Amino acid sequence: MANALEKYSKTKFKKDIVVDTEHYSPYIRKLGDEAKDIPFTIQLPWEQLNSWYQTKQSELIEYSYVQILNAFLCKRYPTKIQENCPRIEENLRKSCSRAAQKIVRTRGRKREDLFGKVTSFAVQQNELVTAQTVSVLQSNIERLERANAQVTSQNALLNIKQNETSALVNKMQITIDKAKVDIDKLKQENESLYSVIEKISPQRKFEDKGKCITEVGKRQQERKLKTLETRVEQALWFSESFGLKLDTVKLVDHLGKPYSLSFGEKGRKSYKDLPTEEQQKIQETLHIMDKFCISDASYHELSCCPGGDELPRSYLIKQCKEDLNKLVYIERTPGEANGAALNFQDELRVVIEGMIEADETLKDAHFKVKISGDGAKMTRLTNFIIISFSILNAEDTVMSSKGNHTVAVIKGHEDYALLKESCSKIFDDINKLASSGKIKIKDKDVPIEIFVGGDYKVTNSRDQWKILGTKWATSDYACIWCKIHKLLRWDMSKTMVYWETHDCRSLKDIKDCALKNQFSCQHQPLLEVKLENVVLDELHLMLRITDVLTKSLINEALEWDVKDNTHKAPKDRTSKHLSDLIKCIQECGVSFNVWEKRNADGKGSGVHDFTSLMGSGKKLLMKHLPDKLNGVIKPKNCDSVVKIWKDFYKIYRMMNECDPSPDRIEEFFELASAWGKLFVSLGGEVSGFGKQHVTPYMHCLVYHVPNFMLRHNGIRKFTGQGVEKNNDDVRKFHLTKSNKWDAPKDILLVSKRLQFTSQHEREPRPYMKRNGEYWSTEIKEARNKRRKLFDTPCPESQANNPASVLDINGLSVLEIKQKLKELGVKTRARKLEKLQEILKRALEDQ
């Protein structure tokens, strides 16, 4: 910081500071004799005062105004003002603030006139640094330097004595170690001689004259096995002469029941005392238990089953787990929320170091690190915020949970205040690495670049991307990369780079807008990552856009049913078109349904919801649904809707291409913009289409995704699949490997143990799909048959169920009301479907 003040003091201004010993202000002249204590006045131009004020707010925030004044004053005059002078500090602060406020409000000639104004203030004699003060300080410095030299010489003597003592101690320790080795060797020789004497002594008869082992009780069996163990050991005394050691003898009786005699070390063995091979076997078992979430109690029962004696003992598994847990340093996250975190820099260092050891070609590589944060629902009442990172250089693992490394788990919903408080240390580490652009690994600086990826809704202040401080995705300026208003998102006529060059955002721009609460910027960004490195997730882009298209199909079917049922009696009303659409979607190989939400009183709300499909289900929908829509949706706009679905599937496949060429990206932009124009043109004709339904995802698909593809050689590596799979693993660990007392810590411990034992993971055998026809069509037909078989009711239960004997669907409204009256059920319902449901429930309750 001292360099910053010295560098700033070299700044040139139109007017310099003037020290005047003759001209005083009228106020000072009135003081009379008191004015004699004022040696001079200082005249400060307003240009310098304005510059001091602006610079102190940013670069020189740790310095006082007196220090800044001295830096400029000492270059022209041999005088200096005392730094602990509150009067001058306050005068300077007010003068700088007043000058800055007036200058910022003016422009042109008036501004130049203000720059030329001068502020004068008097300096008193007792506020100057005198020669006596300098002399006292100089004498103190000389005294401290002499004391420092004396202490340094004493330290040098002590270091020499310490080195001599250490050498002597090491020499004595070597002698003691050699003596211990000799003693142990003699003990072993004596024990071997003693064992030989015992074994070559006259052997007694080994036969057992009593009953056989199957004819006696349990206690007698244990005694006989103990005797047998001793006699077997005596009989096979010569086995060691072959270089073999007796470990286990297995026997069976005439009924086939097994017995095992163990000759290993007596007593419980410790995990640390085991050979390396046995430790690795235990680690392999622990890896399987953690990977498939097998509890300690389950494994203990399994090891006690017949044949379980081949498995490592459960107490050894627990000791191995405890030893591995001790290698992990987990710290509590700041704030009141229950959370646990690992050191981000250490975890990143370990991952990169492992990649370099596995592939030496990465020794000089530039590593790209993607930071992800996502909220995951663990149970109905529990939500976790999961912070993770992945290395984009490893494109083969970035889409799996192995390539995403969890560094923090916090219990709570996504909230800006919670993230700012609980993740402050992690974000500080990330910002330091982002600014330095390197990390030290084995005394070598490895270049890195920080990226941020995830669901678009995470960028706003309600979900994950709230780390950038913008408002919700429904705000007026929801786009993170440009300042387009939501009412203008429908305009797809601009060029591909238009919004990259016009009204584009930057990190500094978001900070400035957040101070003024403009352009939907609500908070200061938590991560100092340039927006070029904030990349949209293609998986959630596809999910959210297909949700819009699916909802449009459902609303169209509902409106069509309402129109057809307008002039029909309640008993004749049907939901034919919605049922046809649901059946059409289910034929694509996905589980799908639509239902009406209920109000608090149990009545229908008129709002419908549908099954939220996963990524694989959405891909099946995009691939097969367009060819099945003919005859299911209104014929008037059928071709246009089918084209919307097919073109979007083509766009999605192009978006996932690796390293696309510039021509291919240009083709992608043309197709995406044409798709957007078609979506807008169907407004007013198809429900859910039109200008007002263009979402931020659609705008980004057309104008920002092509630039991401061009800048980063494709965006496939930024997919959120790995993050979602990592969330699934965290949910699995929370439900099966934690007692819920300290779930965030338990989750991080399981994740780190899997990382420590990853070398024991079994490599899956290669599998080739030889019959492509089976995987494309036959497997779906087989699953549909199983589903139909499960849907077939059991004949016995059908005979015992009164509702199945009575053909409720064939009854009219009057007949159903008569049946309900006979059953003693009173209702005011008039709709046929509602009456049928009440009658079924009444018959089942009988």
Summarised one tens digit per residue, pLDDT across range 450-492 is 999 877 654 443 444 578 888 878 889 989 999 999 999 999 9
**pLDDT value at position 133?**
66
What is the 8-class DSSP label of residue 794?
P
- Say if residue 667 is in the same domain as residue 629: yes
**pLDDT value at position 795?**
52
**pLDDT value at position 208?**
76
- Say if residue 416 is in the same domain as residue 507: no
How far apart (Å, rounded) are the C-alpha atoms in residues 602 and 13? Answer: 77
Q: What are phi and psi of 81, to 5 degrees?
A: -100, 145
**pLDDT value at position 267?**
57
Collapsed DSSP state (helix, strand, coil) of residue 466: helix
Domain presence at residue 397: yes
How far apart (Å, rounded) are the C-alpha atoms in residues 339 and 744? Answer: 6
Contact (Cβ atoms closer than 8 angstroms) between residue 416 and residue 523: yes
- Say if residue 298 is in the same domain as residue 376: no
**pLDDT value at position 169?**
87
**pLDDT value at position 790?**
47
**pLDDT value at position 460?**
43
CA distances to 115, 562, 593, 596, 609 from 606, in Å:
68, 12, 16, 6, 10
Domain presence at residue 153: no
Q: Which helix (H) or strand (E) holds 439?
A: strand 438-441
Domain presence at residue 149: no
- Say if residue 548 is in the same domain as residue 690: yes
Q: Return the ∠ at Cα 106 (arms to 101 and 112), rounded to 5°.
A: 105
Contact (Cβ atoms closer than 8 angstroms) between residue 817 and residue 776: no
Helix H segments across 634-704?
A: 638-655, 662-681, 696-703
How far apart (Å, rounded) are the C-alpha atoms in residues 716 and 729? Answer: 22
Domain presence at residue 321: yes
Contact (Cβ atoms closer than 8 angstroms) between residue 734 and residue 378: yes
- Say if residue 50 is in the same domain as residue 110: yes
- Say if residue 744 is in the same domain as residue 669: no
User: Both tokens of residue 807?
Assistant: 């053909």
Domain presence at residue 237: yes
Which pairs count as long-range contacts for 496-500, CB under 8 Å and 24+ apart, including other chains? Answer: 496/666, 496/669, 496/703, 496/706, 496/707, 497/707, 498/703, 499/703, 499/704, 500/703, 500/704, 500/707
Question: In terms of Cα–Cα distance, which of 508, 431, 406, 510 is closest to 466?
Answer: 510
**pLDDT value at position 463?**
44
- Say if residue 104 is in the same domain as residue 20: yes
In this structure, what is the dihedral angle of CA atoms 300, 302, 306, 307, given to the nearest 10 degrees? -100
Domain presence at residue 432: yes
Count of the separate structural domains present in the chain: 6
Q: What letter represents residue 101's amino acid?
A: Q
Domain boundary among 718, 743, 772: 718
> What's the domain range around 426?
330-469+523-537+719-760
3-class SS string, 306-347:
CCHHHCCCHHHHHHHHHHHHHCCCCEECCCCCCEEECCHHHH
- Say if residue 592 is in the same domain as residue 668: yes
**pLDDT value at position 458?**
41
Residue segments in the chain with a per-residue pLDDT below the cut of 50: 202-203, 458-464, 789-790, 804
Question: In terms of Cα–Cα distance, which of 356, 392, 388 is closest to 375?
Answer: 388
- Say if residue 505 is in the same domain as residue 628: yes
- Say if residue 451 is in the same domain as residue 480: no
**pLDDT value at position 428?**
95
- Say if residue 403 is in the same domain as residue 530: yes
- CA 315 to mean position of chain CA atoms: 34
Collapsed DSSP state (helix, strand, coil) of residue 408: strand
3-class SS string, 68-99:
HHHHHHCCCCCCCECCCCHHHHHHHHHHHHHH
**pLDDT value at position 464?**
42
Query: Which residues, listed in sequence order, are joined to residue 370 by a DSSP beta bridge?
Result: 390, 451
First to last CA, the chain: 85
How far apart (Å, rounded) are the C-alpha atoms in residues 400 and 16? Answer: 65
- Say if residue 348 is in the same domain as residue 320: no
Domain boundary among 718, 737, 769: 718
Half-sphere exposure of 197 (CA within 13 A, CB side): 6
